[in-house]
Amino acid sequence: MSPDVLVVGAGPTGLTTALQAHDLGAAVRVVERRPTAFRPSRAMILHPRTLEALRRLGAADAILERADHSPRARVHVGGRVLDVRLADVAWPSTPYPHLTLVRQADVEAVLAEALHERGVPVERGVELLTARTGPHRAHATLRTGGSTEEVACAFVAGCDGPDSTVRRAARIGWRGGTYRTEVVLADAELDGDLAPGMLHVVVGRAGLLFVFALGEGATWRVLATRPATGGGPSGQPGDAVPAAQVAALLDRSGLRTRLAALRWSARVPLQHRLATAFRRGRLFLAGDAAHAHSPAAAQGMNTGILDAANLGWKLAVAARGGGGETLLASYEAERRPVARRVLALTHVVFAAEASTGPLPALLRARVLPVAAPAVPALAGEPHLMATVVRLLSQDWATYRRSPLSAGAAGRRPRPGDRLPDRDVTCRGRTRRLHDLTSVPGFHVLLDRDAPPGAGAGLGPLVRTHRLTSSPGRGVVVVRPDGHVGLSAREVDPDDVAAWLARAGATRAGVPAAARTPGPRRRGPAGTAGSRPS
């Protein structure tokens, strides 16, 4: 059977795209060029909004079981040692008020297992040779071993990294440049006075050094910046780094530790680039195939997963006959501006953190040590830390100018904004709003005094909830990615139905076909499901 959506690439972005599309009723196929699942993790941090997206796919709890979600960091700067907590920040509108330390490989393993539970295998050792778009179908040529296969599908999702075959096949430009600084990754055993179970960060004139208690081939993962030493594929682990060079980076840091054994290492050239378009006809780009940047502020894996949460449901409902061109065009309209801002953020942060230029080096060597005594007090202020975490977590990313955002000005939450979490009463129970809306699909939230029958009969992709704790006669319609699509002070059933048709939940007023989602891991307080009110 031909798939509705062919996902190319089985990293976090591709796996999330596949899960999101499957849970909205699409037939999905996932192919991955790498023959084995394991590869050394480049990303180590998940943000709250990313976990919110993964929760709607039933994957957040399993990831948290493998993660440190009460992380502590020990910052070494100017001879001072400062302890910082990265959990329990004052952000009440999320169920995950913390940064989460977790290996990218663990995230991929959980997402691949969730797909397997739904009957969707990841086909490894399958390489995309080319893809092309047509008026009614997309076509792809795949190679497995010595044989090739032609595949027709509704859409191709290119989640195949910075050197994207899908992007080249779509003839989409790749603008930007390379950094003069590179990253060294290493899994190592270390001897010395290094507190266990903590993230150690060293800030110095020469750049940054991170030591995570998350090594895959050893106890510790080392990440250090240094001047670039050569070419190679940007963003991908390249040549091994000799033990003497890794030891020198540790010595330079001033940590009271030394390299005891080097299990694995690689140098990673870095780039900052943005695709000139995120779509060409039926070919779409997401994650590192659409944007590549430095590891500063831990944006790569998180931005890719949020791309996927946006793209997957749109491809699913469009493949089943809903939404149309407005829906498909909204992906680039919403996500490319976000990617542009993320690139700007990471560019500035990386320059401050790791640039070998005289001014950033001077600031790290002279100014930061002077300011260091204030860091513990500032880091202990939960509202200030919440501001930092919200910035990193892209709480600023809204889709208010999207063609899918409609409703009253001044209404909260505003159309295009992320749905904030809070306590609500529905069907006589007090629950968290993100718990209530965690089931895949669209959610219609009615105020207490909305007319009886409002939101009824909207099709199998739509669940309706009357919030008796919310006075008024209004309505909020929540998209499958957790953003508000429609927000109005007064319910108009025709407006609700028209918005759902535009977003693909229904097709010209006819309910769209929806596949029953596969097994889902239960989250706290019944995350796995809710009944319509």
Residue ending a domain, among 311, 335, 354, is 354
Q: pLDDT band at 357, cuts 50/70/90?
A: low
Residue 445 lies in a domain: yes
| Least confident piece of the model among 109-113, 227-231, 425-429 | 227-231
User: Does the pLDDT at position 522 exceed 60?
Assistant: no
Determine the average pLDDT of the residues in 170-193. Answer: 92
Q: Which two tokens stand for residue 330?
A: 């909204």
| Least confident piece of the model among 23-27, 358-362, 390-394 | 358-362
Question: Residue 475's domain is classified under what CATH number?
Answer: 3.40.30.120
User: Does the pLDDT at position 298 exceed 90?
Assistant: no
Q: pLDDT band at 254, cuts 50/70/90?
A: confident
Question: Residue 294's domain is classified under what CATH number?
Answer: 3.50.50.60
349 and 410 in a common domain: no
pLDDT at residue 41, as a whole number: 83
User: Does the pLDDT at position 147 exceed 90?
Assistant: yes
User: Does the pLDDT at position 527 exceed 50?
Assistant: no
Determine the average pLDDT of the residues in 116-144. Answer: 97
424 and 348 in a common domain: no
Q: What's the chain's average pLDDT?
A: 87
337 and 463 in a common domain: no
Residue 198 lies in a domain: no
186-219: b (≥16 Cβ within 10 Å) or e? bbbebeeebeeebbbbbbbebbbbbbbbbbbebb
Residue 305 lies in a domain: yes
pLDDT at residue 512, as a whole number: 34
Q: pLDDT band at 526, cuts 50/70/90?
A: very low
Determine the average pLDDT of the residues in 114-140. Answer: 97
Residue 220 lies in a domain: no
442 and 330 in a common domain: no
Residue ending a domain, among 354, 372, 389, is 354
User: Does the pLDDT at position 371 exceed 70?
Assistant: no
The vertex-483 CA angle with 133 and 291, nearest 5°, equals 45
Residue 147 lies in a domain: yes
pLDDT digits (tens, 9 = 90+) for 36-68: 887 788 888 999 999 999 999 999 999 999 998
Residue 414 lies in a domain: yes
332 and 411 in a common domain: no
More reliable by pLDDT, 167 or 204: 167
* Residues 419, 71: Cα–Cα separation, whole Å: 26
161 and 276 in a common domain: yes
Residue 420 lies in a domain: yes
Residue 113 lies in a domain: yes
* Residues 71, 65: Cα–Cα separation, whole Å: 14
279 and 143 in a common domain: yes
- What DSSP designation does 366 have? I
pLDDT at residue 38, as a whole number: 72
Determine the average pLDDT of the residues in 144-150. Answer: 94
CB 351 within 8 A of CB 181: no
Residue ending a domain, among 338, 354, 370, is 354
131 and 14 in a common domain: yes
User: Does the pLDDT at position 528 exceed 50?
Assistant: no
425 and 329 in a common domain: no
276 and 169 in a common domain: yes
475 and 329 in a common domain: no
User: Does the pLDDT at position 403 exceed 50?
Assistant: yes
| Number of structural domains in the chain | 2
Q: Long-range contacts made by residues 68-72, C-beta under 8 angstroms, separation at least 24?
A: 68/100, 68/101, 68/102, 68/197, 68/213, 68/214, 69/96, 69/98, 69/100, 69/101, 70/98, 71/98, 71/99, 71/100, 71/101, 71/198, 71/199, 72/197, 72/198, 72/199
Q: Long-range contacts made by residues 111-116, C-beta under 8 angstroms, separation at least 24?
A: 111/12, 111/15, 111/16, 111/19, 111/54, 111/57, 111/59, 112/10, 112/15, 112/37, 113/62, 114/15, 114/19, 114/57, 114/58, 114/59, 114/62, 114/521, 115/15, 115/18, 115/19, 115/22, 115/30
User: Does the pLDDT at position 18 exceed 60?
Assistant: yes
Q: Long-range contacts made by residues 426-429, C-beta under 8 angstroms, separation at least 24?
A: 426/465, 426/466, 426/467, 426/468, 426/469, 426/530, 426/533, 427/465, 427/466, 427/531, 427/533, 428/468
pLDDT at residue 382, as a whole number: 64
User: Based on C-alpha coordinates, what's the Rg of the chain?
Assistant: 23
Where in the sequence is the domain holding 347, given as residue range(s)? Answer: 5-46+104-177+272-354
User: Does the pLDDT at position 510 exceed 80?
Assistant: no
pLDDT at residue 525, as a whole number: 32
349 and 282 in a common domain: yes
CB 184 within 8 A of CB 247: no
User: Does the pLDDT at position 446 exceed 80?
Assistant: yes
